[in-house]
Structure 1
Amino acid sequence: MTNEEVKILLNDLESDRIERTVSTTNTDKFCQAVCAFSNDLPDSKQSGFLIIGANDDGSLSGLKVTDELMRNIAGIRADGNVLPQPAITVTKFAFEEGELLVAEIQPSDFTPIRYKGRIWIRVGPRKAIANEAEERILIEKRVSNINSFDALPCFGAVLDDLNTELFKSLYLPKAIDADVLAEDKRDVKAQLESLGFFESRYNSPTNAGILMFGKRPERFLPGAYTQYVEFNGINAAADILKEYKFAGNLCEILSKLDQFIDTSIVNRRPVPVSALREQIVFNYPYWATRELLMNAIMHRDYQTNAPVKFYKYVDHIEIANPGNLYGKARPENFPDVNDYRNPIIAEAMKVLGYVNRFNRGIIRVQKELEENGNGKAIFNLNLLTAFSVTEFVSTLAEEIQFKETNKPKSNHDSDYDSDYDSDYDSNYQYKILEFCIVPKSRKDIMNLLGLSTHTKNYDKYIAPLLNTNFLEMTLPDKPKSKNQKYVITDRGIDFCKLSKEYIQNYKMKYDNVYKSEYLRDELLQKFNEWGMKKVIDEVGLFSGVGKELYYKNIGENRYLIFSFINRPDLNAYIFDPWIASYNNDEEIGKVQYISKEEGFANMNFNLERDYHYIKEFVE
């Protein structure tokens, strides 16, 4: 594009393909424009242009375009808030009156595109949120542009082949903005279709729908599983120690794989780096290993009967998926250029939190592996029908293992040494104790080890940890209770050298009760910092009679109010924000409010996610 072409765009004041702005910081506005142009509701098949540095009348504001601004606008493509990923090019143009940043947005084949769960479109020269009829148009446009396997209908499958409750309870709240979801009165078929999981023309789920929420995905896609094998050697000719088949829909299996990597693949060992400090070394770093496996599941070819292979040898891990590099990705540009064989699956995994920023994962993987002493992963790009990566065990971890294996017995060994049977495998000690940071049942622990709940296994693996006070029962007075669980003690924490930060992060990830209480206490602390006061709701206008209300005057008789609800059935504490008008503080919770502002409340307020809603009132 030339300067003359940019001037033509500036002077076209009626075009619905151009948005001008003088703001350089309004990220929401920029992302909404990108989303709307990508959706291309009129189906013009022409690019849209976001022009920063221009007034509404087409004149220049005198902006100086910085490198940071260029990076920020280009970053919209890959920050994961606009999904599926848009196609954007960013260019700077210089004129006598100032500079312009012009972002050209290509219309997408995979509509509807959403920004933070909302579908934005252009209605003439302005932006708007799509209604149901407009969303239907975008869905039909996507269907007409289908060119990916996951978007095709899964012939022979019907709605009953999907776990729709899983879709509604787990996926929808993460994929769609809460306000939009609250107003969505469509049936589940329409909701599935709006996200690419159902095809109404054939009255059938798409392949993506079966993969994400299918009750039995292998019935339709025989290769849709991950095969884990652990070998007692350096190649596949060695004896097999363990073998698992992770089969089922991705919505459930991904979390199991995530936990399996954390508890059964990753071993953590403390390494002294000074007299007062230790560093934790991993045989395989959790995040890097998880990222490589999730990439294999996301990018694989689901039309084949072959599974994803997750093979662990004594000195390395190999992960292989059917299907080599796809689309624009080539051996000569990997990993700088990527493309998506399964764009709907990729979007779904992003929504669920299993993949992060697009096209950054491999770079971060290599960095983490090098820092941990594993060396860089090796990618085999020469396989015609598959893609594989090899991750080597950390040399630091191997060195520690060698020293421990060959350590001579001494009277000066740790006080803990005498407590243990020398035949007891220390790897299991660490695994069980770390696993029991959150209370676990006997069955949970044996599943972790790949063993049955037989008494001999209990006596070998759990009883020694109880006898040495590294584990304790949650119901010590009822040792044989079916509700019995086991949790690590302070002595066990000291033995494993687990930091408070590590324990907190682990509980935040795996203990819903702890996480809920932590987030509750964090928000209550913020209420105190924000100068909010507490009363009891005697009228029940917000969340019921007797509920706690926290309030703050934000000016002109307007009050920011949080109602507090304890939901033991959900292991959750729910805070709902409101803005209401009262004559004075004394009326809050005692009389009817004068007015309440609609559209503000965001059910189950999350400090990290929703702070921007209230920022202007509390800072």
Structure 2
Amino acid sequence: MPKETIFISSVQKEFVEIRQALAAYVREDDLLSLFFDAFLFEEVAATGDSPGKVYLKEVNNSAIYLGVLGADYGFEDSEGISPTEREFDAAQEYHKPCWVFIQGKQALKRHPKQLTFIEKVGEKVSRKRFESLDDLKREVYRSAILYLKQTGKIDADDFDSGTLSKSSLDDISEEALGTFVREARAKRNFPLRETDPKEKILTHLSLVRQGQLTNSAILTFGKNPQFYFPAATVKCAHFHGFKVSKPIPDYKEFGGTVFQMADDAIDFVLSKISLSTGDRSKANLVDTTYEIPRAVIAEGIINAIAHRDYYSKGSIQVSVFQDRIEISNPGSLPRELDISQLKEPHSSYPFNPTLANCMFLTGAIERFGTGIPEMFSLSAERGLRAPDFEDNKSFLVTVWRPSASTAQDAGQVTGQVTAHDTAHDTAHDTAHDRLFIDLEYMPHRLVWILDGELSRSEMMERLGLTHRTNFNVNYLDPATENNWIEMTIPDKPQSKKQRYRLTKAGLEEKQKIAHDPK
């Protein structure tokens, strides 16, 4: 099978070592070398033709244009155009696939013409940024694998649609599937019913392929997804300071279906940040609000679960620091998107489209391509620093807490943390007339938000929680055991009319919290 040529284009003087290393990588990698060779202009023997004719001819003869753009624009011909830009234009004219990689952050000082060239490239093709040679190799490898799949040269099956030969319908949880159907019918008018056979529902969702369950079927509705995919978990950690340090105050690893992992991880973060019940002097019943809008946290976590690379042996990691929340997943943006496009509504290119569709049908994902812009708008409404995104060894989302600097940036991670030196148990949001209180003991949170008589679902809704078991174990049961909360119908614990209220001890505890939230 003849190899296809990758034309490596860049300012030669700026990237002497990188050009050589990149060509060697393409030629020597066990997989890439089977399908590709690399072209470097400096390896061409001297001919009577002008350099311009040589490189334009080689662009046409090559299968792929690979551009590496840095700070320099390079030599300019009589029309003021560099060879790198000429090569890109030729690749566009010949309809060649263009892989373009930009070195450094947006703030890097670049030649004015290089800035214009980068902007021009961005209007025509997707770009990826890189910091090191290893970063560049990783991105080239991803682009090459995608190209080989799209051209049918290697198996196009991805994780989402791959099948598990050893699995069966017995691995599917009827409870999980039933809950999904109820929510999907309520949210998206899902046409099937809970009483329909498992196989019919799964087939409708494209989770059965040639009579076998797909990987996403197990992740979405499996009784024990981690039996097949041990790394498909969310690891959550809470740190009191600004960096990872031991001992870790709280660490949990959540498994189960994608829905369970999302619920547990969101609930974990909410339990670690400050909350407010508004100004009680103005209303008897007030809403509960967290220092960061719940929707911002949920979007970051659900995106990580829906779009991560499940072939990776890494897990999603959620870290709560004093000034920020970091959500990292073993995945990357699709080639069709660049980080600079995330702030505005954009087309959606799900890494796991079938799995993402299931989450969409329940309302976990509201509208494709609008979730991240909503993170920006909700953060801005609350006066928070804009979320940061980094696509490097993993995809990292940083959501900033009120204690961080409120200086807005362009949505790029700076690599530095700006924050107050000390944390506070309470913080006042003057713009919204709210006092946020930090309560690490979760039953205290339930005592704090409970006014009058509320049902279990009403208490969960006030706290922004969705996982009933988590609520019972961490909030309701210990509050009841401490005699802070009591049932209104104690002789009928399972009554549909059951409500909960503060006891005398609970009211006293609430007063203590108000005077000393620690």
Higher strand share: 1
| SS class of match (2:500) | strand
Q: Shift of the alpha carbon at 1:426? A: 8.2
The DSSP-based 3-state class of the residue aligned with 1:191 is helix
Q: Which amino acid aligns with 1:472?
A: E
Whole-angstrom distance in 2 between the partners of 1:179 and 1:292? 25
Partner of 1:488: 501
1:244 counterpart = 2:252: yes
Contact 1:373 1:395 in 2 (8 A): no
Q: Is the 8 A contact 1:153 1:207 kept in 2?
A: yes
Q: Secondary structure at the match of 1:350?
A: helix
Q: Which of 271, 275, 279 is equivalent to 1:268?
A: 275
- Where does residue 232 of structure 2 map in the other structure? 224
Residues 369 and 488 of structure 1: is their aligned pair in 2 closer, same or farther, counting only changes over 3 Å? farther
Q: Please tell me whether residue 153 in structure 1 is matched to residue 163 in structure 2.
A: yes
- Matches of 1:302 and 1:255, distance apart in 2: 19
Offset of 1:305 from its aligned partner?
1.7
Counterpart contact for 1:148–1:341, Cα < 8 Å? no
Contact 1:273 1:279 in 2 (8 A): no
Give yes or no for contact 1:281–1:372 (8 Å, CA) kept in 2. Answer: no
Contact 1:232 1:238 (8 Å CA) reproduced: no
Residues 323-371 of structure 1, C-alpha deviations (whole Å, 9 max, x = no match) = 1112412234334444111101111001111111111111111121122
What is the alpha-carbon distance in structure 1 between the residues aligned to residue 469 and residue 189 of structure 2?
37
C-alpha contact 1:283 1:394 (8 A) present in aligned 2: yes
1:191 to 176, 189, 201: 201
* Cα distance in 2, alignment partners of residues 153 and 288 from structure 1: 33
Q: Report the aligned-residue RMSD.
A: 4.7
2:342 maps to which residue? 334
Structure 1: which amino acid aligns with 2:473? N
Question: Does the 8 Å CA contact 1:372/1:394 hold for their aligned counterparts?
Answer: no
User: Partners of 1:477 and 1:172 in 2: how far apart?
Assistant: 31
- What are the within-5 Å matches in structure 2 for residues 68-467 of structure 1? 147-168=157-178, 170-171=180-181, 174=184, 181=192, 187-199=197-209, 201=210, 203-262=211-270, 264-269=271-276, 282-336=290-344, 337=346, 338-381=348-391, 383-384=392-393, 386-395=394-403, 402=424, 404=426, 429-434=444-449, 437-439=454-456, 447-448=473-474, 462-463=482-483, 465=484
Aligned partner of residue 164 in structure 2, secondary structure? coil
Q: Relative to 1, partners in 2 of residues 1:432 and 1:253: Cα closer, same or farther, differing over 3 Å? A: farther
- 1:214 and 1:191 mapped to 2: Cα distance? 14
Per mean C-alpha deviation after superposition, the further-off stretch among 278-287 and 315-324 is 278-287
Q: Which runs of 5+ in 2 are unaligned?
A: 1-154, 407-418, 429-438, 461-467, 512-518
What is the percent sequence identity of the aligned residues?
Answer: 22
Contact 2:350 / 2:356 at 8 angstroms: preserved in 1? yes
The Cα shift of 1:270 comes to 5.3
Q: What does residue 69 of structure 1 align with?
A: none
CA distance in 1, matches of 2:260, 2:169: 18
SS state at 1:232 partner: coil
Contact 2:185 2:191 in 1 (8 A): no
Letter in 1 for 2:180: L
Equivalent of 1:473 in 464, 474, 487: 487
Kindly report which structure 2 residues correspond to 1:536-547, keeping only aligned pairs within 5 A, or say none.
Answer: none
Distance 2:207 2:195 in 1: 18
Separation of aligned partners in 2, 1:249 and 1:179: 20
Closer, same or farther: CA 291–154 of 1 in aligned 2, 3 Å: same
Matches within 5 A, 1:566-581: none
Change (3 A) 1:314 1:229: same
Cα distance change of structure 1 residues 377 and 219 upon mapping to structure 2, 3 Å threshold:
same
How many Å apart are 1:390 and its aligned residue? Answer: 1.1
Mapped partners of 2:190, 2:427: distance in 1: 58
**Matched letter for residue 389 of structure 2:** F
1:563 aligned residue:
none
Residue 243 of structure 1 aligns to a residue whose secondary structure is: strand
- C-alpha change, 1:274 and 1:365, in structure 2 (3 Å) is farther
Q: Which amino acid aligns with 1:473?
A: M
**CA apart distance, 1:433:** 4.0
- Return the letter of the residue paired with 2:353: P
Q: Once the 2 structures are TM-superposed, how far is the Cα of residue 474 of structure 1 from its aligned partner?
A: 3.0
Moved more, 310-319 or 188-197: 188-197
Q: Which amino acid aligns with 1:181?
A: L
Cα distance change, pair 496–359 in 1 and its aligned pair in 2 (3 A): farther
Q: How does 1:558-573 map to 2 (within 5 A)?
A: none
Structure-to-structure mapping, 1:463-612, within 5 angstroms: 463=483, 465=484, 471-475=485-489, 487-489=500-502
After superposition, the C-alpha distances for 1:135-187 in whole angstroms (9 at most, x for unaligned) are xxxxxxxxxx96532112123222222224532453377269879537x9985
**Per-residue deviation, 1:472:** 3.5
Distance 1:275 1:359, change over 3 A: same
> By how many angstroms is 1:260 displaced?
4.4
- Give the Cα separation in 2 of the matches to 1:240 and 1:180: 47
Deviation at residue 279 of structure 1 after TM alignment: 9.5
Distance 1:173 1:279 in 2: 24
Q: Alpha-carbon deviations, 1:11-65, whole Å to 9, x = none? A: xxxxxxxxxxxxxxxxxxxxxxxxxxxxxxxxxxxxxxxxxxxxxxxxxxxxxxx
CA contact (8 A) 1:327 1:339 kept: no
Query: What secondary structure does 2:160 align onto?
Result: helix
Indicate how the Cα distance of structure 1 residues 431 and 151 shifts in structure 2: closer, same or farther if over 3 A, else same.
Answer: same
Q: Is the 8 A contact 1:433 1:488 kept in 2?
A: no
Greater RCO (CA < 8 Å, at least 6 residues apart): 2
Structure 1 residue 447: Cα displacement: 2.6
- Write the deviation string for residues 100-146 of structure 1: whole angstroms up to 9, x where unpaired: xxxxxxxxxxxxxxxxxxxxxxxxxxxxxxxxxxxxxxxxxxxxx96
Give 1:205 deviation, angstroms. 0.8
